[in-house]
């Protein structure tokens, strides 16, 4: 197949593509178990009418799951996984919209309890 002077071969890789034989830059991601725990909490909060949208970002140094009440707002909470902090404070953290770290720890399920409304029990007098 021939291409004219203005035509571009669609199989060519431009910009941020990875050259053949090179490995892509490593990214921090959530494991399947971690993502299942986060999405279970997200589903409960959506059913309760608290949350409506989410976003996931995977970077070289951390993975972030952000939850929103409305899409046009800043995230209510960010659930972050930062492996560099795994030996110190713990790899997982929940960060509020104000930037306050709500909870940090080594186990994701314990960290998520800080924002899980269903795990909070009301005490009646």
Please provide residue 74's backbone torsions phi and psi, each rounded to the nearest 5 degrees. Answer: -75, 155
- 77: three-class secondary structure by DSSP: strand
> Cα(98)–Cα(117) distance, rounded to whole angstroms?
19
**pLDDT number for residue 86:** 86
Reading the block at residue 118, the tokens are 């269903």
**pLDDT number for residue 24:** 57
In angstroms and rounded to an integer, the radius of gyration of the C-alpha atoms of the chain is 20
Token pair 């971690």 is found at 34
**pLDDT number for residue 71:** 72
Whether pLDDT at 121 is above 60: no
| Residue 65: strand pairing partners | 56, 79
Task: State the pTM of this model.
Answer: 0.72
The tens digit of pLDDT for each residue in 80-106 reads 999 998 888 889 999 999 999 999 999
| Cα 67 off chain centre by | 9
The tens digit of pLDDT for each residue in 26-57 reads 888 899 999 999 999 999 999 988 899 999 99
Give the pLDDT band of residue 7 (cuts 50, 70, 90): low
């Amino acid at each position: 197949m021939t291409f004219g002077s203005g035509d571009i071969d669609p199989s060519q890789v431009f910009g941020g593509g990875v050259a053949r034989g090179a490995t892509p830059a490593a990214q921090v991601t959530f494991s399947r178990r971690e993502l299942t725990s986060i999405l279970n909490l997200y589903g409960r909060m959506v059913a309760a009418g608290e949350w409506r949208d989410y976003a996931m970002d995977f970077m070289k140094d951390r993975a972030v799951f952000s939850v929103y009440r409305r899409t046009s707002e800043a995230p209510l909470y960010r659930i972050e996984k930062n492996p560099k902090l795994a030996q110190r404070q713990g790899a997982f953290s929940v960060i509020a919209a104000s930037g306050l770290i709500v909870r940090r720890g080594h186990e994701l399920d314990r960290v998520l309890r800080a924002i899980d409304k269903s795990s909070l029990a009301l005490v009646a007098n």
